Amino acid sequence: LSQLIYAIKEATDYEKPVSVKISAVHNVAAIASGIVRAGADVVTIDGFRGGTGAAPMVIRDNVGIPIELALAAVDERLRNEGIRNNASIICAGGIRNSGDIAKAIALGADAVVIGTAALVALGCRICQKCYTGNCAWGIATQRPELVRRLDPQVGAERLTNLLTAWSLELKEILGSLGVNSIESLRGSRERLRGIGLDPQTLELLGVKPAGVGQ
């Protein structure tokens, strides 16, 4: 992996960041540590609730671990090894609203990736037929008669509205926390509280239960 990363950086004259994407599995922290030590600029972690429209639901909902558990484990491992600032962490899988983004950042992410939410903004109805190439909404298809059903301008406006709204909501969340920048929220688990979570999950997340002070 280190040789591959080096080759890619050489080929791009070190002008492009190299990102390695991994699934959220039980040993994700060790894998991420190895990736960072190999020289990657970004580690992207995909949680088990993520997936394309072609992913079988039984796989999407049961294979892997939740992104929040993987993210917390990776952030803690990299901090303990003193290499957290050597690479950025991007998380994906189950990011559905601005609150999810704030929680992910507080658990250690530098950024998030959205997929399903963006598709819904474009007009996707989550009919799970992406792999057929016959998307009735003109998104996941190359058939001219179906592509015409998607108005790119309207879709772009809807997606812009979604991201703009999330940005404004994030500012409100930051303001309520007394934080003046998204960077200051990164890794601030002490600002989070768990509701309805068992003690083991709280310990894995590094989060206190609701009702407990500093």
Domain ranges of the chain: 1-114, 115-178
Burial (CB < 10 A; 0-12, 13-18, 19+), residue 168, is: exposed
pLDDT of residue 164: 98
Q: Which two tokens stand for residue 175?
A: 């303001």
| Strand locations in the chain (E) | 19-23, 42-46, 88-92, 111-113, 193-194, 208-209
For residues 90 and 48, the answer to whether their CB atoms sit within 8 Å is: no
Higher per-residue confidence, 157 vs 52? 157
What's the CATH code, domain 1-114? 3.20.20.70
pLDDT of residue 22: 95
**CA quadruple 91, 92, 97, 102: dihedral, nearest 10:** -10
> How long a stretch of residues is the chain?
214
For 19-36, give the DSSP string: EEEEE--TTHHHHHHHHH
Mean pLDDT to the nearest integer, 78-92: 97
Q: Which two tokens stand for residue 48?
A: 């088990």
Tell me the pLDDT tens digit for each residue of 58-78. 877 778 899 999 999 999 999
